[in-house]
């Protein structure tokens, strides 16, 4: 019997495949049992204190094997999430990770206080100090170990449940940020969010995105995300969740062997809605061939 279940701190997941924030919607048609059977957990879209309209102009630009996005945290706000979304999401039976986007201290505190009200329905908070697509807050917290520590401590004081921190690859000292998060009470690290990129509309002779820069994701970023997982997992003792370009079973295995305990899938889901199932099939075939019974035995194996 192959065992693909994993624990992220105190959170048990039936599968090491998690759907990344911002890449799965709330429409009922997506929450089908057959689509989510192979998924360990679903991260909510980024939640902000007040509802946000997101960015104007182009929001999507494809590149070879990659995707630039400038969504800008469009969401209906914490009150709608807690009052309307959570009860519905809970009924689907998949662990829900609340991706909380940090803009400022007051907003963060209010969001976490509201989540405490539904703590038994939210399996973990994923503190998002890493979105590059907004002017206010967010990534500016995640690039600094001091500010990351401050943000994590604030949440930790109010939220006693599982707390993940979603890091930004733009941090000049990722190990420093990771250690700061761990020391301040994070239970796991998600490594990482999108990479800063941009595109020029050559025919229009201008930048494609109104904000010029955008978040880069997809298979093109996988080797860089893998490197970050390798680096960060060596610097901390809490679990690391690999995120960035994972699109196949071999990508998942690489992340695990580099030190991740689980992975998050984002852009890959747009291309193949059954990616979790397809990845797990490939992983199981590998485990059978290599006579590995427990996926956990492969965590960090490439480092030994």
Partner 1 sequence: MSGNVDDFPCKITAREMVGEDILSIRVRCPSIAESIYPGQFVLLRDPSWGMDPLLMRPFAVSAVHGEDLELLIKLIGRGTSLLAERSVGDDLVVRGPMGRGFSSPKSSPIYVAGALGAAPLLFARQVFGAGRFVLGVPGEGWGPFVDHLEARCPEIEVFSDDGSIGVRGTALDGLEKGESSPIYACGPMGMMAAMVKLEPVSCQVSLESRMACGIGACCGCVIETVQGKRRVCADGPVFNLEEVVWNA
Contact residues for partner 1, defined by CB under 8 A: 22-25, 27-30, 32, 35, 45, 53-54, 56, 58-62, 64-67, 69, 71, 74, 218-219, 247, 267, 269-274
124 counts as binding ligand FMN under rule CB under 6 A:
no
Please state, as a whole number, how many other Cβ atoms lie within 10 Å of the Cβ of residue 40. 27
Distances (CA, A) of 132 to 128, 138, 195, 286, 293: 10, 7, 8, 36, 39
Helix (H, G, I), strand (E, B) or coil at 265: strand
**Residue pair 138/165 in contact by the 8 Å Cβ criterion:** no
Q: Is 131 a catalytic residue?
A: yes
Rank residues 194 and 233 by Cβ distance to ligand FMN and give the closer one: 194
122 counts as binding ligand FMN under rule CB under 6 A:
no
Please state, as a whole number, how many other Cβ atoms lie within 10 Å of the Cβ of residue 238. 19
Q: Which residues contact 297 (CB under 8 A, 6 or more apart)?
A: none
- Which of ligand FMN, partner 1, none is residue 244 near (CB under 5 to 8 Å by kind)? ligand FMN
Residue with the closest Cβ to ligand FMN? 22
- Which of ligand FMN, partner 1, none is residue 274 near (CB under 5 to 8 Å by kind)? partner 1
- Which of partner 1, ligand FMN, none is residue 29 near (CB under 5 to 8 Å by kind)? partner 1
**Residue pair 66/221 in contact by the 8 Å Cβ criterion:** yes
Residues belonging to the chain: 304
142 counts as binding ligand FMN under rule CB under 6 A:
no
Distances (CA, A) of 301 to 29, 239, 246, 266: 39, 14, 19, 25
Order of all β-strands in the sheet with 213-217: 60-63, 66-69, 213-217, 195-198
CA 28 to chain centre: 22
**Residue pair 280/4 in contact by the 8 Å Cβ criterion:** yes
Cross-strand partners of 112? none
- Which of partner 1, ligand FMN, none is residue 21 near (CB under 5 to 8 Å by kind)? ligand FMN
Rank residues 27 and 203 by Cβ distance to ligand FMN and give the closer one: 27
266 counts as binding ligand FMN under rule CB under 6 A:
yes
Rank residues 25 and 93 by Cβ distance to partner 1 and give the closer one: 25
78 counts as binding ligand FMN under rule CB under 6 A:
no
Closest distance to ligand FMN from the beta carbon of 234 (Å): 21
Rank residues 12 and 51 by Cβ distance to partner 1 and give the closer one: 51
Which alpha helices (DSSP H) does the chain contain, by range? Answer: 33-36, 77-80, 86-90, 105-117, 139-142, 145-158, 174-183, 222-235, 249-257, 268-271, 275-290
Rank residues 61 and 141 by Cβ distance to partner 1 and give the closer one: 61
Active-site entry in 43, 65, 121, 131? 131
268 counts as binding ligand FMN under rule CB under 6 A:
yes
Q: Which stretch binds ligand FMN (CB under 6 A): 113-121, 197-205, 265-273, 285-293?
A: 265-273
Residues 81-120 that bind ligand FMN (CB under 6 A): 99
Please state, as a whole number, how many other Cβ atoms lie within 10 Å of the Cβ of residue 303. 11
Give catalytic residue positions: 131
Sites of contact with ligand FMN (CB under 6 A): 20-23, 45-46, 67, 69, 71, 73, 99, 128, 131, 166, 193-194, 217-218, 221, 243-246, 265-268
């Amino acid at each position: 019997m192959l065992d693909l279940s994993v624990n992220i701190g105190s959170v048990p997941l039936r599968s090491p495949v998690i759907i990344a924030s911002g890449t799965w919607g709330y429409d009922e048609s997506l929450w089908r049992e057959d689509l989510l059977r192979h998924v360990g957990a679903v991260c909510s879209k980024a939640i902000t204190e007040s509802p946000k309209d997101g960015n104007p102009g182009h929001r999507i630009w494809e590149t070879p094997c990659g995707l630039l996005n400038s969504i800008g945290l469009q969401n209906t706000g914490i009150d709608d999430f807690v009052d309307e979304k959570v009860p519905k999401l809970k009924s689907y039976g998949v662990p829900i990770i609340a991706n909380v986007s940090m803009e400022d201290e007051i907003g963060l505190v209010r969001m976490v206080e509201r989540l405490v009200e539904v703590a038994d329905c939210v399996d973990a908070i994923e503190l998002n100090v890493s979105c590059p697509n907004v002017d206010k807050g967010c990534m500016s917290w995640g690039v600094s170990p001091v500010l990351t520590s401050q943000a994590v401590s604030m949440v930790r004081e109010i939220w006693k449940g599982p707390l993940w921190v979603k890091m930004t690859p733009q941090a000049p000292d990722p190990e420093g940020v990771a250690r700061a998060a761990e020391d301040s009470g994070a239970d796991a690290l998600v490594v990482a969010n999108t990479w800063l990129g941009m595109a020029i509309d050559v025919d229009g002779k201008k930048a494609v995105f109104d904000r010029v820069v955008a978040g880069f994701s997809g298979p093109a970023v996988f080797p860089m995300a893998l490197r970050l997982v390798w680096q960060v997992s060596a610097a901390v003792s809490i679990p690391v969740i690999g995120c960035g370009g994972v699109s196949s079973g071999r990508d998942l295995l690489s992340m695990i062997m580099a030190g991740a305990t689980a992975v998050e899938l984002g852009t890959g889901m747009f291309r193949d809605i059954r990616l979790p199932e397809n990845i797990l099939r490939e992983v199981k075939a590998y485990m059978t061939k290599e006579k590995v019974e427990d996926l956990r035995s492969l965590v960090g194996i490439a480092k030994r």
